[in-house]
Amino acid sequence: MTGFESTEQLKDVFEEFWKRCQEVEEVMAKMAKQGVTVRFDIEDPEAHPTIDFRNPGPDGKLGQLLWDSEEEPELKVWSKAETTNKFWQGKLNTAIALARGQVKIDGPVTKAIGLVSQIKPLFAIWPEVLKDKGLDSMVL
């Protein structure tokens, strides 16, 4: 297998990934300071996770993961699941992907690119989650 088999599988990976990301306090603090809300519109398979650093979740913390949220995000990021997989492993040159149309951003592009440098410590987590979920073939 080289890609996600279903939306449910993608959601399962993303949920575990985000749960682990929230333990990286230095990144979460930077993102909370930015107060940004980002929705990822992923295709093949389709999923729409939103990460909200504007509104506290039920636990009172910022950075909650929402699915198919009505919350209007500051940034919307579109890509195919294959590109999302590359991105979260730190294997995607965002500027080139934007130029090629592999990633589309609706919102302040300079802010989006600035956020990428702040979340780099999270890139090590995605391949760990893939391995833990038996998706070794997706690790790049």
Say which CATH number the domain at 120 has.
Answer: 3.30.1050.10
Model's pTM, two decimal places? 0.94
Domain count, the chain: 1
Rounded Cα gap, residues 13 and 17, in angstroms: 6
Instruction: Output the pLDDT for position 71.
Output: 83
Sole residue written with tokens 């492993």: 89
The parent domain of residue 56 ranges over 7-132
Domain assignment of residue 1, yes or no: no
Rounded Cα gap, residues 28 and 118, in angstroms: 9
- Report percent pLDDT > 70 for the chain: 99
